[in-house]
């Protein structure tokens, strides 16, 4: 029995691989991490696994489907980290901030992977149901946190989906601009995150509206 670690590479004598789909996903992700998306080549990935260039087609419809699967796994990792940050952070106000930090950190630590997820390589509206499900799961983690904070009277009792979407777009924007290197020179990611959360909480207006009305 081969050791459980390093089980990805095919043992030289066996014709069948055993778990090629898994190995392909891992190898694709590794390549994405080191070379970027455009470095992903079906031939290279096959070669690295000791397998022919078209073996992949027994497990994925085409290259796009492989990338879609990588993106799907990315959403899973993201959800995992968000939930961990929320729970380990104590499910309170600070934990919400921790979720934001965890989100941006995931993107900044895995820029190419993040780009596969959100770079338009795959369309959740298209026939990729698993991707849509995983995306929904990650988003739900955020909605749950917002709803909890609303219940506890920390956040105002808005529609939680709207509020979660609002904060999602914020961290997503920060992550994207950071990855692209489009943030204004002197501002770092951590600093921007701190500032943004402060402003998100209390707003940007000079005069807070008087007795809190409907609007």
Q: Which is nearer to DNA, 32 or 163 (CB)?
A: 32
Least distance in angstroms from the C-beta of 17 to a copy of itself? 30
CA-wise closest residue to 112 among 70, 80, 49, 174? 70
Q: Which is nearer to a copy of itself, 46 or 111 (CB)?
A: 111
Least distance in angstroms from the C-beta of 89 to a copy of itself? 17
Taking CB under 8 A as the rule, does residue 22 contact a copy of itself? no
Q: Which is nearer to DNA, 64 or 194 (CB)?
A: 64
Q: What single-letter DSSP state applies at residue 57?
A: G
Phi, psi of 16 (to 5 degrees): -85, 150
What residues have CB less than 8 Å from 84, skipping those under 6 apart?
102
Place of tokens 């043992």: 11
Which option in a copy of itself, DNA, none does residue 44 bind, with CB closer than 5 to 8 A by kind? Answer: DNA
Handedness of CA 33, 38, 39, 43 (dihedral sign): positive
CA-wise closest residue to 2 among 56, 14, 25? 14
Give the Cα separation of 148 and 142 in Å (integer).
Answer: 10
- For residue 24, count CB atoms less than 10 angstroms from its CB and return exposed for 0-12, middle for 13-18, buried for 19 or more: buried
Start-to-end CA span in the chain (Å): 66
Q: Which is nearer to DNA, 42 or 163 (CB)?
A: 42
Report the site for DNA in 8-47 (rule: CB under 7 A): 14-18, 20, 40-44, 46
Q: Which is nearer to a copy of itself, 129 or 173 (CB)?
A: 173
Taking CB under 8 A as the rule, does residue 166 contact a copy of itself? yes
Q: Can you give the binding site for DNA, defined by CB under 7 A?
A: 14-18, 20, 40-44, 46, 51-55, 57-59, 62-64
Chain positions contacting a copy of itself, by CB under 8 A:
111, 115, 118-120, 123-125, 135, 139, 150, 153-158, 161-163, 165-174, 176-177, 179-184, 186-187, 192, 195-196, 198-209, 212, 215
């Amino acid at each position: 029995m081969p050791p459980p670690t390093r089980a990805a590479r095919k043992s030289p004598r066996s014709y069948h691989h055993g778990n090629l789909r898994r190995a392909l996903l891992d190898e694709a992700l590794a390549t994405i991490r080191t070379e970027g998306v455009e470095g992903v080549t079906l031939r290279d990935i096959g070669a690295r696994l000791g397998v022919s260039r078209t073996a992949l087609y027994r497990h994925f419809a085409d290259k796009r489907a492989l990338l879609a699967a990588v993106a799907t796994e990315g959403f899973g990792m993201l959800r995992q980290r968000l939930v961990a940050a929320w729970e380990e952070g104590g499910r309170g106000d600070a934990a919400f901030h921790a979720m934001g930090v965890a989100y941006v950190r995931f993107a900044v630590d895995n820029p190419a992977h993040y780009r596969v997820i959100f770079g338009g390589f795959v369309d959740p509206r298209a026939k990729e149901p698993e991707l849509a499900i995983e995306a929904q799961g990650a988003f739900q983690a955020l909605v749950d946190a917002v709803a909890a904070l609303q219940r506890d009277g920390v956040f105002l009792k808005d529609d939680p989906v709207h509020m979660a979407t609002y904060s999602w777009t914020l961290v997503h924007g920060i992550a994207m601009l950071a990855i692209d290197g489009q943030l204004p020179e002197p501002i770092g990611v951590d600093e921007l995150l701190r500032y943004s959360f402060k402003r998100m909480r209390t707003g940007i207006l000079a005069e807070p509206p008087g007795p809190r009305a409907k609007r």
